Amino acid sequence: MITLATVTQLEKVADTLPAGEAVLDRARTRVRQAARIVSAAVQVDPTLLDDRDYARNHLLDLCVELVRQLQPLARQAFLTLEHARLTKAGAPQEEFARIGRINPLAPDELDALSERLVELAKQIDAAALPDWNTPRRIRERSERLLPGPKVITRFADQLAEAVRPAADLPYPAAMAVEVAALAEQLRTIADRPTAAEDQIAATYAAPGIVGRNDR
């Protein structure tokens, strides 16, 4: 679970990364930049931290995971660059033994991953909603937090199966009939398009727009 404290700690990670080479310094700068962007976004929209809202919170998860991956990768990049420096200086073999195995791709991978981190932070910033606490946004969030159609259908099937022995009798109890009807109602709800899907359908229905089923 990503918390405000987790976000606050991101910028401090930059200080733990090795420095002294251009690619290493860029990585440190990018971690700080990404951390500040994410921190500002969470201040604007605290609902980004809600891990039940997977559609938006997973961006934060990815961001934290990238920072976690950057730490060992930065150390590998440092050792690779140190190996190159020693090679150029004609250092004795014992110096290379101190470094151990290296990953020649680490510097390029570090550069790409730190750049990706900044891009991801900008996506988080774009996902932040300044009006997150308005009725409209709260309704949208409520819809995102609903269980998916497959979950509702599974509940409906379980409910129908549980009540079937009672409902299939020639003269079923009133509650058995009601519960069976509730299961059918749940299936209907599961098949109902969400407001977001209705909006997409309306967009494709507009003049000049080719629908997904018309391609």
Contact yes or no for 144/138 (Cβ under 8 A): no
Which pLDDT value is given to residue 89? 77
Which pLDDT value is given to residue 195? 54
In this predicted structure, the answer to whether residue 128 has a pLDDT above a threshold of 80 is yes
Greatest Cα pair distance, the chain, in angstroms, is: 94
CB count within 10 Å of CB 81 equals 19
Phi-psi region of 20 (alpha: psi -120 to 50; beta: other; left: phi over 0): left
- Give CA–CA dist 18/141, Å, rounded: 41
Q: Of all residues in the chain, what percent carry a pLDDT higher than 90?
A: 63
Q: Express each pLDDT in 16-65 by its tens digit.
A: 999 999 999 999 999 999 999 999 999 999 999 998 888 788 999 999 99
CB count within 10 Å of CB 7 equals 22
- Tokens linked to 212: 């997904």
- Give CA–CA dist 112/125, Å, rounded: 20
* Residue 34, amino acid: A
Q: Express each pLDDT in 157-197 by its tens digit.
A: 999 999 999 999 999 999 999 999 999 999 999 988 765 44
Mean pLDDT of the chain: 86
In this predicted structure, the answer to whether residue 206 has a pLDDT above a threshold of 60 is no
The DSSP string of 103-126 is: -TTHHHHHHHHHHHHHHHHHHHHH
Which pLDDT value is given to residue 4? 82
